[in-house]
Chains A and B, each alone.
Chain A
Amino acid sequence: MKNPSRPLSPHVQVYRPQLTSVLSFSHRLSGLFLSLGAVLLVAWLLAAVTEAHAFVAINGWLGSPLGLLLLFVWTLALFFHLCNGIRHLLWDAVLGFELKSIYLSGWIVVFSSVGLTLVTWALALWQAG
C-alpha cells in the first residue's frame, strides 16, 4: 500500500474500462446527478405553490434547449439508476453472479434504460402535440 518512498503502481490510470466498472461508476454518477435533480424538483414544486412568476421563469428555463437537454439526461439517469438498482437487488439475493449473467444483465440495463427514456420522451412530445 501507500509508502511515500515507493511509487504506487498505477490503477485507475491504466486499468481497462469494462462493462462491470463502467456501469458501477455510472450508477454512482447517475445517483449524484439525480440528487441534483431532486433539488430542482423541490424548487419547481415550491415555486408552483408560492411564486407564480418564479414558476413561469423555471418552466421557461426548462423549456429552453439547455433545460430540455438536462431533463433528457435526468430521465436517462433515472431509468438507468432504476434498472441497475434492480440488478443490484438481485445480486443482494445472490442471483445472477455467473460472468455470463453479469454481462447479460449489464447489457439489458443499458438497452432498457435507453429504450425507456426514448419511449418516455416520445410519449411526452406526442402529448405536448
Chain B
Amino acid sequence: MIFAEGLGRVFGSYVAVENINVDIKQGEIFGILGPNGAGKTTTLRLLTGLVGPTSGRAEVAGIDVAKDPDLVRQKVGILTETPGIYARLDALENLRFFADVYGVENADVKIRAYLERFDLWERRREPVGSFSKGMRQKLAIARAVLHEPQVVFLDEPTSALDPESSRIVHELIVELRQRGATVVLCTHHLDEAEKLCDRIGVLRKTLLHVDTPVALRRKLYGHFIELDTRAPLTEAMLAHIAALEGVKVTASHGTRIEVSVADMEATVPQLIAMLVHEGAAILRVAEKMRSLEDVYFELLRTGAP
C-alpha cells in the first residue's frame, strides 16, 4: 500500500530525510518514532504528495506520489501536526467542507456519527474558535478519516487529548485497520506505538530500523529469561549456566536471576533441564523484554542495533 525506495528530500544544503526504504502493507498500522527534527513531517509530506522527493521514489495506493500527487491526495487522509481547523466555521461546516471536497456520500450521517463518537455533537453549531485544543484535535481527526481513505497519516493524533479521548482515538485506529485501511502513525508516545502498531520505524533522517515492537526489542537486546527459584542458586549452578553456549547471567538477586540467551528455542529447555538436574526448585520462567523506550533511545544513540 505504501512503498518507498531511496526516498529523500533536500532543501538547499539541508538534508530533511534520506534513503527511506519501506514497504507497508494494506491493513497495517505503521508507527514512525523519532525526535523533533527527525524528518517525520517531511516524510508525511513526501508520502502525501505535498512536497516532491529530490531522490528515490514512493508509491501510495499504487500511485507514484511524484507523478500524480492529486490522485494520491484523493486516496489518503492526513492529520497534520496542527489541527488546522477553520475557527470561524462551526464543527458541522468544517466537516461539511471537507466532505464536499472529497465527494463523501451520505455525508450528513457520517458527520453526525463522528461528531457523536468524539462527543462534539452537542456543540456542532458553535464556532470552532471557541473549542479547546483537544476538541479541535478530535475534529481534525474526524476530518482526516471522514472520506474513508485507503491510507491515513496521523501526526501526533493524541498529543492534545485526555486519556478518555485518546482511548477513543486508539479504538478508531484499530477500527481503521479492521476496515482494511493502512495507518501511518507518527507519535512520541512509545506506549501508544507499542500498543497499536504492527511495525515501527525509528526515524532520524532515515529509517534506522523497521520491525515489530517485539522483534525490535529482541534484535537490539537479544532474549532475556527471568527465573525465580525457591532458594538462591549455588555458585556451581551459576557456573554451569555460564558454561552453556550462548548463555550469560546478566543479573542475580537472591532467588531471581536474569540470563541472556542467543537462541531461545534451543537453549532454554537445555538450561531448565540442567537446573532441575542440579536440584534447583524452579518456580517461574518468563521472557523478560526491554521496554520500547530503551530500544528507541538505544537506536537514536547508536544509529542502528
Q: Answer yes or no: are A and B bound together in one complex.
A: no
Footprint of A on B, CB under 8 Å?
A: none
Footprint of B on A, CB under 8 Å?
A: none
